[in-house]
Structure 1
Amino acid sequence: MLKNSHPNFDKMDELSQKKVPFFFMVDFLVENVLVFTENELIKNSLYIDFQNNTDIPDQQENQTNIQLKSFPESEEIYKKGFDKVQQNLKLGNSYLTNYTCKTEIEINLTLTEIFHRSKAKYKVLYHDQFVCFSPETFVEIIDNEIFTHPMKGTIDASTKNAAEVLKNDIKEKAEHYTVVDLLRNDLSMVADEVKVNEFQRIDFIQTNNKDLYAMSSEISGKLKAEFQNKTGSIMKKLLPAGSILGAPKPKTLNVILEAENHRRGFYTGVCGWFDGKNLDSCVMIRFIEKENGKLYFKSGGGITHLSNFADEYQEMKNKIYVPIH
């Protein structure tokens, strides 16, 4: 498993103990850990818009109709990786693997325009390199109580009785149970009295393409004394995020590295804002990255032994959207 020994985790501990506000970003493989105090954000062409914090100037609303075209990898290419995952599931190396792809897209908006116009709980724009508009909280810390909200399982909202179908789908349910169990165990490393407060809540997500329902749960605990005011130490313990990795973590990471044909980078990493007292952070999903002048949308989903190839391929494509409406 990853060593998670980056010196910037110590810097995060130091800043949180001094109650200095800061923003951090950690990539999926925990190789790149960036930390910015408030006055360093704009200097580094980094803009954030979180539910409780924003550093972005008001923009003139642009009414351009959005045109998004995607060019997903072929079924044959997707199936190669999917089959590797299934092989490992059968061998018992994993019982849930989050498998992701990189899809070239064309859109008539810049990354900056996407950032300003999209509606999401968490938004990040970095250096005209990537934009992220994530609906998924990683952990929140409020008065030394830690909360996490795993989001696993989505369905097209136009499906008949969509919310009920999602809640009762055997595969989606198994995936959700697994992630809740995994994150309950993860939180127990840094907190006591860990409990599930809300199970299988259904959230509505509106997109430019189609509307989705997503399934979430809430887990909480009281931070152990040695982790209080130590954001970096907490992240070292909890990363990579279980909801976008799978279980068990160490072996599943090897499966992902073998099956996926792209480097995730900051996609499915974690970023967060510490306001001097409390922390809010998100999993960096719903992600568009610029590479050699082209744009790529990274998306995927959880695979279990119950997964159906056609459904998973479709889910990966369903998640290619921008939340502008």
Structure 2
Amino acid sequence: MSFDDLNSLGKQREPFLFICDFKAENLKIIRLVELDKYDIEYSIDENYNIKQYNNKIKKYPLEFVEYKKKFDYVQERIKSGDTYLLNLTAPTPIKTELSLKEIFQNANAHYKLRYEDKENKFVCFSPEKFIQIKDDYIHTYPMKGTIDASVINAEQKILDNKKEMAEHVMVVDLLRNDLSIVANDVHVKRFRYVNKIEAGDKKLLHVSSHISGSIGENWHERIGDILKSLLPAGSISGAPKKSTLEIIKEVENYERGYFSGVFGVYDGESLDSGVMIRFIEKINEGYIYKSGGGITLDSDVKSEYKELLDKVYLP
């Protein structure tokens, strides 16, 4: 399937689910009337009820010394001017007694997806919106900045942190420019507000912003073009996007696959989509949890390593 197929379905106002990998090379499109033919479940719900369940997992993360090598390499490339913001991720083997289906059913998240076929088996439970198109306006909500909510004065600390502020400004600027490719009158409607996220046995605070623009009434027949222009998502790649993607390929040394890609639903009238972070992949050896965070010149390696681990949880 291709992005042109999305244009055709949009022109026909045919509802569909789409799932796209990080590199925007593998796009899956399922018409909603045919969804029951697949081993797929999804949920998009901003007002979900919090469930309590046995969400304990064991983590077997990358050693700090190995993470530091990657971090230091990114810092060298930043100093060389090849990137100024890069989202560095890593795979963490985990153990849990839950199946992918049970994880999907119990997880507390705005965007949830379970996908299983012969080649790919994964579940994601993401707090981050990618784009939403409604009433001829496009919206995006970049999420950059994370802190443990139990820290004293956590909200004020994350908002006052100069490194986090700089990183957030970079992402907002990147996505404002991205939206300007497909929309008019793009502007930041709300800058740096805080949401609380259930993160297993703890709570995290995330900092987000709201950017929007006018997309025009003919956007339905341009859905594929719009998505293709915006991928990969800026919040989980970096800036400038092209050179940063090359560095990610060099330094991460593993395939993200569908992790940090996007999925969404078009209902014939509007489109809503999420970034596939908080992601567990099933492989022959067990489960792999993929996570990461944004690196800038002002980043502290110990703090970034802690963030990488804090994001490995079942919400």
TM-score calculated relative to the size of structure 1: 0.92
| C-alpha RMSD of the superposition | 1.7
* 1:182-220 Cα distance to aligned partner (Å, 9 max, x none): 000000000000010000010000122211000000000
CA distance in 2, matches of 1:258, 1:44: 35
TM-superposed deviation, 1:228: 4.7
DSSP-derived class of the 1:290 partner: strand
Say whether the 8 Å CA contact 1:25–1:270 is kept in structure 2.
yes
Q: Which among 185, 203, 222 is matched to residue 177 of structure 2?
A: 185
TM-superposed deviation, 1:127: 0.8
TM-superposed deviation, 1:158: 0.7
The answer to whether 1:204 aligns with 2:193 is: no
The answer to whether 1:249 aligns with 2:249 is: no
* 1:85-126 Cα distance to aligned partner (Å, 9 max, x none): 111101000000000000000012111000000110000000
CA distance in 2, matches of 1:158, 1:314: 15
CA distance in 1, matches of 2:142, 2:56: 31
The answer to whether 1:157 aligns with 2:143 is: no
* Distance verdict in 2 for CA 1:38–1:314, change over 3 Å: same
Correspondence for 1:38: 32
Correspondence for 1:77: 66
Correspondence for 2:260: 268
The answer to whether 1:67 aligns with 2:56 is: yes
Q: Greater shift after overlay, 304-313 or 288-297?
A: 288-297
Say whether the 8 Å CA contact 2:292–2:308 is kept in structure 1.
yes
The answer to whether 1:166 aligns with 2:158 is: yes
Gaps of 5+ in 1: 1-6, 55-61
The answer to whether 1:234 aligns with 2:223 is: no
DSSP-derived class of the 1:85 partner: helix
CA distance in 2, matches of 1:248, 1:274: 29
Q: How many residues align?
A: 310
The answer to whether 1:10 aligns with 2:29 is: no
User: Structure 1 stretches (4+) deviating beyond 3 angstroms?
Assistant: 224-229
Q: Which among 200, 206, 212 is matched to residue 214 of structure 1?
A: 206
CA distance in 1, matches of 2:207, 2:306: 18
TM-score calculated relative to the size of structure 2: 0.95
In structure 1, give the amino acid aligned to 2:82. N
CA distance in 2, matches of 1:182, 1:52: 25
Q: Which among 27, 45, 52 is matched to residue 51 of structure 1?
A: 45
Identity of aligned residues (%): 47
Correspondence for 1:97: 86
